[in-house]
Amino acid sequence: MARRFASNTSELNVTFNSQISSNSLFKYDQSTLSGRLKEVHVSIAEPEITNKQIKPLKSTMKKMTNHRDDIIPIDDFSNGFKYESHLGRFSKNVIVVSARHPHSFFLQTIDDLAYSDNFFSKMNEFYNRCFDAQRLVISKAALRVNLCCVTRDELESDVWNRAQLLEYHPETDQCSLLLVDLGTWQECVPRSSLRHILEPFRNECVRSVPCRLAGIAPAKPEKNGLWNEYAIKTFRNVIDNVPTEVEVLDHSENGSYYVNLFVTHETFVCVNDFLLYHKIAIPIDDCKIFKPEELDPTTHEPLLAIIYEFNLQGELLAEEIKANSIKEKEEQQRKYEEEQQRQLNCRLPCIRIIDILLPSCTKLIFARYKNWVMIPWFCISSLFDPPLSENTIERFAILYKFPPVYITPLTNGILCANLKKCMTLISYNTKNSSDGYESKIALYSIDGVRKLLLNHHFDNEYIFDRLDEAREAEMKDDQDFWEIPQQNHCLIDNKKLNEESKQSKIAMLKSHKDQLENRLEKMTQSNPDYQTVLHQLMDTMEQLNVFSNDSNSSF
């Protein structure tokens, strides 16, 4: 599986600067920021310097440690760090600093690692021993895209990392940072953890270089075109804590090295070929033409691959938040409509009563149970002469696959109470037929009732028409089916009031007529009041006749 190395083993030393897209979210105008080198008085404790330190580093640190009250040069205008690689065409002693996925990982040689350790120990010593280090805290006004700074490590408070500012969120006073030496980014970093970087610390080259496996692409990419979780886990497991070698094939303008990566487990394995063999990756020709979104919109220079990935993840997160917001609004709208429907159902009558003209007058009672129109057992029983028992109705319904629904005062209190009131409207004694089921009421479907009536050769077309209306209302969820009875009740009540008023007037007119007739019997025609009383009597009889005709026509 190992690839053949190229014969040319000449050393590649490349230096480049990193910049971040200036379209990141900042509310501060860059024109108002300082563009010059600042000098701040900072008191420091004089560190011990051993002879084992590297001479260039020693001379750099000496400028900052000779006096207890020195002028320290702060770098607040730089837009990136210098990257320097000592990777040869083929390097055996390399360390994987970080690994996000096969197209984004950082490597460092053993020699660079030893040098970096010495450098970071000095940087940590300086920031930890500054007595007035709070003067190095970065203010809100000084924040800007690409600002080079130093941040406290989130796990070890006495460790400091060089960083580059990606985003600042004023509402939370937190930042997103690129940790340049660790090859990763960190989000939600409090501004209080940031410090101005000194010029010597900023000038020191970044020795962790970005790399990507050459000649492969994800076989099953995610929505964003990146590697899926399975591919990332496999890649990390293969390169974790094992001897690593690298063959550099090429490098691009964004600073990424195209490499073949080799690890030693029980055998010597090329990671590129390993991913291809297990169909986690597919072979491609590496394209070094950058998309517009991979370029800095201001300088039009290629962005570091890890910075482009950070921007891409931010866009995907924004889309996901937007989609979740839309979904949440739709869910709220759905709940609102359900609540409106529930309130409407509460306002609707839960029963409808229809008078049935049979040899013995009875009533057809419909119950609104959820979205169904059902009939209580005692109403079904009253349609028959003699009435059917509840057990008979239940056995028949179960036999023909129309099982009843039982409601109790605990499960459906309002409906149950209304149906118990309706029991008194039935023309026979329901208690004799309840067989101990007073605490619950059985409801039957329209189809089940129709089947029962047909089985008993029921021939009342009016009842079947009413059942059809109820079945259609159930299918269409017709709310008017429940509103109509309420209106009918009002009409009936008004009609009764009018009829009672008419009967009262008729009785009054009859009494007045009788009084006038008695007076006429006692009077003679020569009496001057005779004609007046006679005309009153005729008018009264005419009014009585009109009211009597109206009353008869109303029945």
User: pLDDT digits over 2-33, tens only?
Assistant: 333 333 333 333 344 444 444 444 433 333 33
> Smallest Cα–Cα separation from 41: which of 135, 123, 150?
135
Dihedrals phi, psi of 552, to nearest 5 degrees: -70, -35
Please give the domain boundaries of the chain with CATH numbers for all domains. 75-286 (2.40.50.90), 410-457 (no CATH)
> What would the pLDDT profile of 441-486 be if each residue is shown by its tens digit?
999 999 999 999 999 888 888 889 889 988 998 888 877 787 654 4
Mean pLDDT of 269-291: 85
Q: Check if the beta carbon of residue 43 is closer than 8 Å to that of residue 134.
A: no
Q: Check if the beta carbon of residue 44 is closer than 8 Å to that of residue 70.
A: yes
> Smallest Cα–Cα separation from 381: which of 335, 442, 340?
442
Report the 3 state secondary structure along 312-359.
Answer: HHHHHHHHHHHHHHHHHHHHHHHHHHHHHHHHHHHHCCCEEEEEECCC
Grouping H, G, I as helix, E, B as strand and the rest as coil, residue 30 is: helix
- In DSSP terms, 167 is beta-bridged to 176
pLDDT band at 357 (very low <50, low <70, confident <90, very high): low
d(CA 268, CA 91): 15
Grouping H, G, I as helix, E, B as strand and the rest as coil, residue 387 is: coil
Total residues found in the chain within this entry = 555
**Pairing of β 209-213 and β 257-264:** parallel
Token readout for 349 is 């009558």
* pTM (global) more than 0.75: no
Q: Could you tell me the sign of the dihedral formed by the alpha carbons of 38, 41, 47, 49, in that order?
A: positive
The amino acid present at 174, given as its one-letter code, is Q
pLDDT exceeds 50 at position 41: no
pLDDT band at 64 (very low <50, low <70, confident <90, very high): low
Dihedrals phi, psi of 353, to nearest 5 degrees: -115, 130
Q: Fill in the DSSP letter of residue 137.
A: B
The mean pLDDT of the chain is 77
Mean pLDDT of 252-262: 86
